[in-house]
Amino acid sequence: MRRLITPILALVVAHGAWANEGPALQDANVDLRDTASLQRGAKFFVNYCVSCHSASFMRYNRVAKDLGIPEKAVATDMMFTTDKIGETMQVAMKPADAENWFGVVPPDLSVIARARGADWIYTFLQSFYLDPSRPTGVNNVVFPSAAMPHVLWELQGVQRAVFKKEKNAEGKEVDVLERLETAVPGRLTDAEYKQTVHDIVNFMVYMGEPAKLVRYKVGAWVIAYLLVLLVAVYAMKKDYWKDVH
């Protein structure tokens, strides 16, 4: 048993050590059962993200069906790059233009929540800060030198970084990021902005694996079926054994 436990423990510890590298991530508290949050997230996503990013695995009519949004509402409030409800979320921008403007083509976001993790995206969208040395005017704590501008700045406002001096391993003084503070307030309060980002990330996690929602529903039916079966089987067992005593 010890021979088995040690490598497992080593793995757990190694994983923990790895997770501690880089800035701490905030918990996105993903909840795919919160349909209202998913609906809001879908709207924010198409309004603020699809101008640059595609989500080419995600069809508008699937969003309508899974999240219980009427197709008409999806067509008027959410479809800016197509008029076909069966179409996937394509980006309006030409890849060549995007490359000219940002130096890179903004990646497709269909499965980004699985690649980066929900907490990473949740923290990323809250961690832009002023940096005049960057072409976009901002930098990001979890994605240093990201080519993405702070597209939600009107909502969050603008943050500035506060650095402190620390000695590195060689005893040299270096600037270390201490915290971010508000330089210009946005339209939303801190709590409202967190909620907005939570909704967006919630939607992105759903988008990374839409079948999860279906599985939840199937799961509930399976449990109900098993419970009914249990009652029947128990009655049968009582009947079979009643003469044995």
Q: Which residues bind ligand HEC (CB under 6 A)?
A: 48-49, 51-53, 102, 104, 106-107, 109, 112, 116, 121, 124, 146-149, 151-152, 200
Q: List the structure tokens of 72.
A: 């008409």
Q: How far is the CB of 146 from ligand HEC (least distance, A)?
A: 4
Q: How far is the CB of 176 from ligand HEC (least distance, A)?
A: 23
139 or 210: CB nearest ligand HEC: 139
Q: Which residues fall within 8 angstroms of residue 88, CB to CB, at 6 or more apart?
A: 54, 55, 56, 57, 58, 59, 60
Q: How far is the CB of 109 from ligand HEC (least distance, A)?
A: 6
Q: How far apart are CA 30 and CA 206, in angstroms?
A: 9
Identify the residue whose tokens are 């990201």: 146
97 or 190: CB nearest ligand HEC: 97
Quick count: other Cβ atoms within 10 Å of Cβ 52? 19
Q: Which residues fall within 8 angstroms of residue 207, CB to CB, at 6 or more apart?
A: 45, 55, 57, 58, 109, 110, 111, 113
32 or 46: CB nearest ligand HEC: 46
Q: How far is the CB of 233 from ligand HEC (least distance, A)?
A: 49
82 or 102: CB nearest ligand HEC: 102
Q: How far apart are CA 163 and CA 166, in angstroms?
A: 9
104 or 214: CB nearest ligand HEC: 104
Q: How far is the CB of 160 from ligand HEC (least distance, A)?
A: 21
